[in-house]
Structure 1
């Protein structure tokens, strides 16, 4: 694999990065209706970019391979988004972004990173050291529960 570089997301990239999130989520086989409902929740925001909370992983050639977005809190920051381009899944890009998100939150004084994740993504997060602490209701679908994970920073 080519070398992966991490950099802050740039103003104007929010739509391209949000589209990457949707393409990555779609890998799990969700139907069009599901994807339309979750789309507003899988957005890289201009505020996150401006505040340095969104990070891009890209190849040496400039191909965007993944993105993460954090949300600092009060000793419990969250990993809001972590999505990998379907062509880069399984190549270590997620691990790089995960560790970077931990570093960003730690630098902001957080002691725990929380993750409300897709059930299909849970094994990857557990492999990287997260622990499931509960199941929480989905923000999008009534009656659907999602794994709530934590990582000590």
Structure 2
């Protein structure tokens, strides 16, 4: 998932005229409030790697790559979002249908299920270095 987030930030993250790039950081540089919030919400998380992106802190862990789960917190420790890596076959059928129609013959590099702090669920598919985003029902929302 770290790869997914970094790719999105590096290729598509332009805001206010500057390119936003996720920066790997040492756990010692992560505010205590962020670490405490992550451990409270995800007590089984281990081998967490950290990035700083858009002023927030992103923790990644799990799976062979260490990137099956990604969570983002503000510097004060407020939960922003979690993104769970999923198999492309787990994407809703409407997402698969859309991708086949709009990206014919192109492989989906990565897929994720994102849950925002307010409970909103979206699906993400990385195709041709672009993040294609869908709502919980699999309806197309945007390309980032």
Q: TM-score, normalised by structure 2?
A: 0.32
Q: Which has the larger radius of gyration?
A: 2
Q: Which structure carries more helix by proportion?
A: 1
